[in-house]
Structures are given as structure tokens and as C-alpha cells.
Amino acid sequence: MDRRHFLQAAGSAGIAAVALRAAAGEVKSAVMIRRTEPDRFVLDFSPREPRPLRILQLTDTHFGSQSVGAKINDGRSFLEIRRLVEEQKPDFLVHTGDFINNDQGEKVSFEAIEVFDELGIPWTHALGNHDHGHLSVAEFRKPMKHAAVGEFRSGDKNEYAFRFDITTGGGGDPRHSLFCFDSGFEEPNRRVSQPQIEWFVGQMKRDAAEGLKTPSLAMIHIPVVEFESLRAANLHKGHFGERVCFDSDTGDTFTALKNSGRVRAVFSGHDHENDYAGIWQGIELVYGRVGGWSGYGDLERGGRLIDIDLAAGGFTHKIVTPKRRDA
């Protein structure tokens, strides 16, 4: 199925006030997350032995549609994601959007939230264009128990960008940061909004004043236009299977990220047939791997494993798929 047959947008934004309700002992990960501000979390990583922080990026699962076929596909995706998590043992899950098909104008199942919470690993979610829908973002987020998701207020509305500062050993100065953005849901605003860009610039100024210079990663559902520049310049490695749908992106987001001097990579989703990566003007642009069978596309479902070396500040990443599948 072509992506364009997939698109139908509706929705509203509400006030999200989500607390991370991970009870002690309930979460298997070496990560503990504490919210310090509506748009800010401290993620402490304290493994038994020193090792990189292991993040699994999942994307474009498109859960929740109520047709028989979609329910079968979702069941298969749940099984494979559980296997992937068992096999790769990530410390933290980042879902880069289109988690639920919440924009079809009809009731959808939010069972996937329960499935993710039951993985026993803290997770977060950067909004995709299909996640906005008949339930507001606040209602959508309400049942999440182990997800850390934030927002900030801009004028009379919420903007769904937030950050994690990663510490190790229970405290001290952050070693790394991770920024999640909402890239919008309706044309002509299918991109990181101007208030979010201003928020990011403000965060950088505040960090500079506080002497915080952590290397950073950005998570944005819709690829910025530079993903297309990368491909056109033939600097990409990996699978290019469909046109880069940067939608309304203008280049302003990448410019802000680049000007920060701190962002090392942007991880995106949205285009299920693309999973390539490459460096553009000093920033690595990386597609995830489509993770759910209810979305279009023929690539084997999986995720992208990101290892962050908190001591050295570097990171590596690779595509991972479940080793064990049903015959």
C-alpha cells in the first residue's frame, strides 16, 4: 500500500500531565527516569558493569485499527517486538512516531500502550502524524505507566517537545542529551513547529549559561528535508525504497540543530521503505526500521539499536530484526 492512501489527519491537542509511574522492582532496566520539569527528564543509567547505554528505536507500528487483518498484523508485531526486546535487551525504548493509527476518525484500540508498558523497560514516544486523532494527546498518554513524555506551553497551546539529560551512577553532571520533537500532523504544518525550534534554541542558551555542553541526539518522526539532500548527494548507506517525505519541512529545524554545535544525529521514521543513514554537514541523519505489520511497506520489521558510550560521548547504531520468527 502506498503511504498516500494511509494519510488522513484529524485531531486536537490537550494538556498532558503524565507522571512516570514505574514502581521500584517493576522495571527491569538499569535506567531510572525522573521528571524535573514538564519538558525535561533526568535519565540515570547505572549498569552493574560499565557498558554503553542501549536504546532501541522503534517506529511506525501503526497499531490499533479494528479490522480483522489489522488485529492479526498487530498481534504479529507485538510478538516480534517482545522477541526483539528479549534478544537485544535495551535499557530504554524510543518510539519515533505513528505508534497508533489514531487519525482514522473511528475508534481504535490503545492496547499497544499496555503491551509496551508490560515490556518492563522505560520508554518514550515522539509524536507522529498518525498519533493525533479522535483522542487528544493528553488522553492518549494518560494510560502510559512506564513512558516518559513531556510538553511545554506556548501561548494557549501545548507543544510536545521535551528532553532527557543522561547521567550515570545515580547523579552528577549529564553526559549526553536526547531531544524529542513533534513534527506535526496536518499540512502545511507537518514539520517541527516554530515554537519548538525556538524552545530548542532557548534550551541551548540556557544550557550554555549553565555550562552544559552534552552531545545530543534528536528524535523526529518526519525526516527533515536534509534526508533528501543526503540521498541526492549519494552519501547515504542502507535501504532507499521510496521518495523522502519531508512534507512541510523547510530546513529551519536542521539549521537550529546544526547551529547548536551539539546535535550529533537525527533519528526519524515516517518513510517505511527507507532505512538508510549518512552524515550531512556534520550531523548523522538516520532512518529507523519500520516496526509494525499494520503499516505499508515490505521491509522486514525490526528496529534500530543505538549504543551510547557515556564515557567517551560517542554512539553507534545498527538495524536489528528478531532472530526468532514463527515458521
Interface with Fe ion (CB under 5 A): 98, 128-129, 270
Least distance to Fe ion from the beta carbon of 204, Å?
27
Pairing of strands 162-168, 171-180: antiparallel
By beta-carbon proximity to Fe ion, the closer residue of 129 and 177 is 129
Provide, rounded to whole angstroms, the least separation between the CB of residue 133 and Fe ion. 13
Whose Cβ is closer to Fe ion: residue 45's or residue 185's?
A: 185
Helix (H) or strand (E) holding 137: helix 137-141
How far is CA 225 from each of CA 161, 261, 272, 280, rounded to the nearest angstrom? 19, 19, 16, 11
Q: Which is nearer to Fe ion, 29 or 294 (CB)?
A: 294
**Closest distance to Fe ion from the beta carbon of 28 (Å):** 30
Cell reading at 309: 558510550
Least gap, CB of 103 to Fe ion (angstroms)? 10
Instruction: Tell me the C-alpha distance between 116 and 101, whole Å.
Output: 16
Cβ 248 to Fe ion shortest distance, Å: 13
Cis omega (within 30 of 0) on the bond before 322?
Answer: no
> At CA 85, angle to CA 76 and CA 25, rounded to 5?
120
Q: Which is nearer to Fe ion, 116 or 185 (CB)?
A: 185
Name residue 216's beta-bridge partners. 177, 263
C-beta of residue 97 within 8 angstroms of C-beta of residue 269: yes
The residue nearest Fe ion at its CB is: 270
Which of 39/98 has CB closer to Fe ion?
98
Least separation in angstroms between residue 167's CB and Fe ion is 32
Cell numbers 484529524 correspond to 10
Residue among 98 and 165 whose Cβ is closer to Fe ion = 98
- Nearest-5° Cα angle at 259, 255 to 260: 125
